[in-house]
Amino acid sequence: MHGTSPIALGQAIRHEWALDWSKLTVNHGAFGATPKVVLAAQTAWRDKMEEQPSFFMRGILPKALRASAEALAAFLNAEGQDVSFVDNATTGCNAVLRSLDLKPGDEILLHGQAYGAVANTARYVAERSGARVVIAELPFPETNLTGFAGRFAAGLTARTRIAIIDHVTSPSALVLPVAEIARACREAGVPLLVDGAHGPGQVELNLKAIDADYYVGNCHKWLAAPKGCAFLWTRRDRQAGLHPTTISHGFQGGYLTEFDWTGTRDATPQLAIEAALAFHERLGGKALRQRNIDLARQAGELLAERLGSTYGNAGHGSAMAMVRLPIETGPFTKDRATALRGRLLDEYATDAPLHAHPSGIWVRVSAHAYNEIGDYEMLAEICRKLVKTI
């Protein structure tokens, strides 16, 4: 492997989490898993809040939240004044899309592997305004994305008001060329929203280099922050007129004023981000990210070989691998994939998401610090048993 962590990983590090290891855990990409030390940091902040809630909310939280944003911005190669916290990536996408002043006939450009909740939000704002959603097709499996940026940009028209692209696609684990797409959108004069739900902590992330207009990212997944910690980065020239989904006392007070206070809430997930970043670096930082990518590649190759099937996102540099289950007869539907996933959990104590594509039903596996190749050897045997019963 190219990435070498300074400490032993796999089973040697599992004591850091409160996970139930009687279950096969190969789905870190879904909701992440927060290590005990980060949960302890969150608890410390919550205890401090409850010592004197009013003083904390007014006298401590504003500066502490900005300090957390500055720490996160340094990790993202960004500036703190452009980073606001949101509950999750979907919330951030909603803020951007619902701040648009769309008119009948306007267009929103998506791609064919967009995350369901984001696609639904785009449809919602389009239906309310008379705009329409345009889809740039992204077939799967697709291991060669050469030319995709151009194909996506071909969907831009004089009516396009925003384009939305994933950094790492959820249903197919493809790493998309977001910087190239951002350049194409900039040339066309169309703002770009990057859904980076799977970006932070999984792939190398440099927001200045990507140079999109908006980037949303979850910190609870690959950075292992507490649930409820995500961010919205906004270019300085796009911040005016952007509002959170909940309007509160800071209305018209500016980007950070509006987003930092949307009403009484528990902000301790965001305040624990420095502990999450420190844990990520202790496990190797960049070396950890590369180790996870290498392990996912090994997992994809192993599963494809053992199942006599296809590794669908090979070469994409993702810490997730997509492998087709050897099911040759349809239907290849979401309902069928959901039912089979339920059987994996109920009958085999295995959490692994299954995604339906026209080409078949695919298992998506994640590789994180606590995983090792033996996990995927076990999964291969479980999948073989499952398929035999169909």
* Helices 286-307 and 373-388, packing angle to 10 deg: 30
pLDDT in tens, 263-284: 999 999 999 999 999 999 999 9
Sequence-distant (≥ 6) Cβ neighbours of residue 130 within 8 angstroms: 102, 103, 104, 105, 106
152 and 50 in one domain?
A: yes
Say if 300 falls within a structural domain.
yes
Say if 177 falls within a structural domain.
yes
Query: At residue 215, does pLDDT exceed 90?
Result: yes
Give the C-alpha separation, 197 to 194, whole Å: 9
Say if 1 falls within a structural domain.
no
264 and 141 in one domain?
A: yes
Q: Given 279, 298, 333, which residue is the final one in a domain?
A: 279
Look at residue 2 in the predicted model and tell me its pLDDT. 46
Q: How large is the average pLDDT for residues 239-261?
A: 94
- Report which of 253, 136, 128 is spatially closest to residue 192, judged by C-alpha positions: 136
CB 259 within 8 A of CB 269: no
Q: How large is the average pLDDT for residues 212-216?
A: 99
Classify residue 15 as exposed, middle or buried by CB count within 10 Å of its CB (0-12, 13-18, 19+). Answer: exposed
Higher pLDDT, 109 or 389: 109
Query: At residue 4, does pLDDT exceed 80?
Result: no
CATH of the domain at 337: 3.90.1150.10
Give the C-alpha separation, 107 to 123, whole Å: 10
259 and 123 in one domain?
A: yes
pLDDT in tens, 52-76: 999 999 999 999 999 999 999 999 9
Look at residue 6 in the predicted model and tell me its pLDDT. 77
163 and 69 in one domain?
A: yes
- Report which of 58, 83, 55, 57 is spatially closest to residue 68, judged by C-alpha positions: 83
Classify residue 78 as exposed, middle or buried by CB count within 10 Å of its CB (0-12, 13-18, 19+). Answer: buried
Q: Given 279, 299, 315, which residue is the final one in a domain?
A: 279
292 and 254 in one domain?
A: no
219 and 70 in one domain?
A: yes
Segments forming the whole domain that contains residue 72: 39-279
Q: How far is CA 93 from CA 115, 171, 258, in A?
A: 11, 18, 16
Peptide bond before 35: cis, by omega within 30 degrees of 0?
Answer: no
Q: Given 260, 279, 298, which residue is the final one in a domain?
A: 279
90 and 21 in one domain?
A: no
Consecutive H or E run containing 329: none
Q: How large is the average pLDDT for residues 246-268?
A: 95
Query: At residue 1, does pLDDT exceed 50?
Result: no
pLDDT in tens, 328-343: 898 999 999 999 999 9
Look at residue 316 in the predicted model and tell me its pLDDT. 84
> pLDDT band at residue 315, thresholds of 50, 70 and 90?
confident
260 and 128 in one domain?
A: yes
Query: At residue 29, does pLDDT exceed 60?
Result: yes
In this structure, what DSSP letter does residue 175 have?
Answer: B
Give the C-alpha separation, 112 to 238, whole Å: 26
Number of domains making up the chain: 2
Look at residue 3 in the predicted model and tell me its pLDDT. 53
Query: At residue 250, does pLDDT exceed 80?
Result: yes
Question: Which residue has tokens 């844990």?
Answer: 279
Give the C-alpha separation, 122 to 116, whole Å: 10
- Report which of 23, 104, 54 is spatially closest to residue 344, judged by C-alpha positions: 23
CATH of the domain at 76: 3.40.640.10
Look at residue 146 in the predicted model and tell me its pLDDT. 85
Q: How large is the average pLDDT for residues 147-166?
A: 97
